[in-house]
Structure 1
Amino acid sequence: MTGVLGTWFGGLFGERDTALPVPPAPGETAAAARGVSLALGGRAVLDGVDVAVAAGEVLALVGPNGAGKSTLLSVLAADQRPDSGGVTVAGHPAGDWSAPELALRRSVLPQSATLSFPFTVGDVVRMGRAPWAGTRAEDEDDAAVAEAMAATEVAPFAGRPFSALSGGERARVALARVLAQRAPLLLLDEPTAALDLRHQELVLRVCREQARAGRAVVVVLHDLGLAAAYADRAVVLHQGRVATDGPPAEVFTEELLSRVYQHPVEVLPHPGTGTRLVLPRRAG
């Protein structure tokens, strides 16, 4: 990142001799919440939640509306402090890290992305490199941006204003920004919500590729079929608590999902791959 913006970010985040994070070993815990509880507006949104994600895996957070998925993601990101319990990121209590240090260790994709200034798509993706400004990793900026834009298929409109994009295009650009950050932990809140079928599959393939590269990926999903197909583990949240935690093939049962979602659910093996298909049971 060069120019005035790069100089400003460099002063904010670090110098070239800043100690950079050591990538976690495969299977090493990247982030964990232990006994986490949080009340918002007088309602218990999280109640004694235990969740951990390891390097090299995709963890899906699923559950009905209001179950606490986005709040848990925010707590794991250290963007929101729980009322009780503890959160660790990269092996240390989340509160021990400064904001610049956290930015080197985890990247966060919120549900929606809005900008008030006429940045181009390329500018927005390059913002993901801000935490590394002034460090040795700044030399990787161009490669990281190009790789992220190619992975999310946004390179063809790199020069277009972000404000001129459709909702689905904005979602992919926002994901590209997160990928360009190259943090060891990715926290993605409903990254497929605004996307068509093809790009939903693209995003989840990207999640798998990031996990294969050694990163830990936590993704909030509403589509249980996508979670079953791409996640190594799924945490099903219900009324702020963990209803179950394990491989989707083991924990996505008709009894549990029907109870949690308060609607009859069918769980069937895909005839070709054997992956679990989760469908609402319909009359007639």
Structure 2
Amino acid sequence: MPLDHRRLRGPEESQPPEVWAAAAAEEEEEEEVRDPCALRPLFARAGLLSQAEGSAYVELASGTKVLCAAWGPREAAAAAEPGGAAAAAGRLVCEFRRAPFAGRGRRAAAREAAAEREAAAALREALEPAVRLARYPRARLAVSALLLQDGGSALAAAVSAAALALADAGVEMYDLAVGCALCRPPGPAAAASWLLQPSEAEERRAAALLTVALLPSLNQVSGLLGCGQGGPPDSWAQALRLGLDGCHRLYPVLRQSLLRAARRRATPSTA
């Protein structure tokens, strides 16, 4: 049979790429030894997008990257408001989306849409107590969070980024909402200690997950979302205390990023 010189001949022996992908995944999933109470480094910057009235970007050392944009207040149609024209307070609309390249693998479209709706509802629940909606009657505030990379603790990072975006847009708020995530490794519930800001691999192996949203200046919990195997009440109480402490420690980082954005905007006007 004559050879086809227009094509490159492959090797006589080859292996499927899944073999190397599995090896790389095993290396990534090696257990990381770290202090359970230690926070991962966090980078936050406000005022990145010129197309939005307010924006913020938050990145965790685990690889999570979230970009948020905020718009409003804008007049809302009476028919769109719950209660019609009788609705006096403003309305906060939240959206959470995952980029197609955010995480490993692809999930089913229906499952992906359900997860995004659940995250958007949790985001709204965490932000509504922080926003002074009564100051914006019959108005609509919109927040959109885009998860660029999922390295774990994605919802907590989205809460912090969305609060920064709203503050950057000039929306009146009682305080910045700060998010912090925790997970409990598998094993006896009494012996396993909770980990702050888990990575994506730690979340996949975890027996329980908890996300806390806090208004630090008011010391008020604005959002709480937990799932997983039930444990003793003392274990969940320990997780809540650890999460609140993590929110208090993250608060100065977010405030400094907001102050830097305000200084950047004020510099051209004073020059």
TM-score (norm 1): 0.29
TM-score (norm 2): 0.30
